Structure 1
């Protein structure tokens, strides 16, 4: 089946969910996505050059009227029909250089949806891996080892106890920043409404944190959070090591969920083709429509 580029272009709008590899910037990934889309569009059946009406002959005698192809509109003269600067794309969540996982882009009119998601700051879920016994100068595996320590005394129940205390501390902080007593009815009513978001969007809040894998010295924790950033998550692993009377550094960060978008919805780079992108746009549009709180209004909040 031959797809016509103008028909595809009219449907090429909305939110697309892609998988961002580690050690690749979001800006670079955006450029690669735009290039891949434009390349695929130009391989489709594009419109032919527009013809023009030519009136030739001696004005004092009989004139001839003919229709000729307009060479000034030929792709060899003006370039490809679909060019990268004509395709607006923006991201709704930013992942750092070392972080992989779910990344959302808004294409064409979908940039408004991307802005809506970005401003509402929905919760995200990460799987962060670490190693006990070593501390690096940047708290990540790429850094230089500056300290070694014992780790065999650290057991899974020790880590789970500390993570539970950390989660409780962040939950208490949420209510304190809201100006309500944790034991009051107001706090209960706030909790019933869903996630409590801090007024300051620069303060990271952890809604849930647990150890999902423990094979000492390696461990993996799952973090449900908001307002986080890569450096904060990396330093969190370092803090866990210190609190457990050892040291630790981060080895991997992966965003496995962003609002209602999960890893299973993320399109790998090798699958970036026009049919797959159109299918992903339709899937993401359905997910976004079914999300609680998605009514693009001023006070809407995504869960």
Structure 2
């Protein structure tokens, strides 16, 4: 089997790739690492195509063991002459969702012409799902676990049913807010028809909306929430945990945020950084492109904006 050359690999790098972002790493740094690893793999493939298998040879006199070079190739095009063929500036990459410093999870990048797909997903404003961990009884100056504790309070009075009731009221308040922005009565037929068509998205992309929030684990003082939302950002999710603590007559801070789904992409599709070689990237890219093609019509139907 003949290995594909670097040009063929480069031509195949078009579309969306889904990666896993670890916490305490910026999206920009992750983007740079991905570009550097892809370019390194391409340059390695470019070098390998200039060499043929060889056998060491010896003689009565001491001779250097050399690699045999393909004589049919113009040496002016050899990597040792012109240097690396692929540079990080040659590979355009953009993200379709931005995760904060402390947030981990699903992150989508568009490669080359795939930057247009990344823009499409970003402007489509698909919903995202998060698993958020928090702790009752302590408040920090930044709302996160790495902040300085500024207040302590009791938490043993918090019962699971009280927790669920508060979350239900917060979800209902967000649903009411969506219809109020649209100028539609929640009890009307129009509200039912809008809800049946899919999630209602606000025109203003800076307005966070929570579609669903529930507690999936509660072992005081720690708890885990699953939130489905749109237009969110890290500080908003942290403030949400603080608000829950206040409503339950206590305090709370966030200990972890993980994006478990973005549009149709989940953690099962995310590629770990240790697997960012050209072969795995291409496999992931083909898988993500297939998912987009299968669900493109659904994404268009769900693009309902408030006017």
Provide, for residues 66-117 of structure 1, a one-character-per-residue CA deviation record: whole Å limited to 9, x for no partner. x997665442343211111111110000000000000000001100000100
Provide the residue aligned with 2:272 in structure 1. Answer: 268
Matches within 5 A, 1:215-254: 215-254=219-258
CA 1:114–1:38: 2 relative to 1, 3 Å = same
Check the 8 A contact 1:156/1:214 in 2, yes or no: yes
Structure 1 residue 228 displacement after superposition: 0.2
Q: Indicate whether 1:104 and 2:104 are aligned.
A: no
1:256 corresponds, among 237, 256, 260, to 260
Check the 8 A contact 1:103/1:266 in 2, yes or no: yes
Structure 1 residue 295 displacement after superposition: 7.2
1:81 corresponds, among 79, 82, 85, to 85
TM, length-normalised to structure 1: 0.89
Structure 1 residue 292 displacement after superposition: 5.3
Structure 1 residue 31 displacement after superposition: 0.2
Of stretches 6-15 and 137-146 in structure 1, the one that deviates more from structure 2 is 6-15
CA distance in 2, matches of 1:162, 1:300: 29
Check the 8 A contact 2:46/2:85 in 1, yes or no: no
**Runs of 4 or more above 6 Å deviation:** none
CA 1:77–1:244: 2 relative to 1, 3 Å = same
Question: Which segments of 5 or more consecutive residues in structure 2 lack a partner in the other structure?
Answer: 51-70
CA distance in 2, matches of 1:248, 1:16: 36
Q: Indicate whether 1:287 and 2:299 are aligned.
A: no
CA 1:68–1:253: 2 relative to 1, 3 Å = closer
State the SS of the aligned residue for 1:96. coil
Structure 1 residue 7 displacement after superposition: 1.4
Check the 8 A contact 2:129/2:262 in 1, yes or no: yes
Question: Which segments of 5 or more consecutive residues in structure 1 lack a partner in the other structure?
Answer: 49-66
Check the 8 A contact 1:106/1:114 in 2, yes or no: yes
Provide the residue aligned with 1:63 in structure 2. Answer: none
Structure 1 residue 6 displacement after superposition: 1.4
TM, length-normalised to structure 2: 0.88
Check the 8 A contact 1:123/1:226 in 2, yes or no: yes
CA 1:77–1:157: 2 relative to 1, 3 Å = same
Q: Indicate whether 1:130 and 2:134 are aligned.
A: yes
Check the 8 A contact 1:3/1:45 in 2, yes or no: no
Aligned length, in residue pairs: 283
CA 1:292–1:81: 2 relative to 1, 3 Å = closer
Provide, for residues 189-224 of structure 1, a one-character-per-residue CA deviation record: whole Å limited to 9, x for no partner. 111110000121111000000000101000000000
CA distance in 1, matches of 2:303, 2:294: 13
Q: How big is the alpha-carbon RMSD for the aligned residues of Structure 1 and Structure 2?
A: 2.0
State the SS of the aligned residue for 1:245. coil
CA distance in 2, matches of 1:247, 1:81: 56
CA distance in 1, matches of 2:73, 2:250: 76
Provide the residue aligned with 2:16 in structure 1. Answer: 15
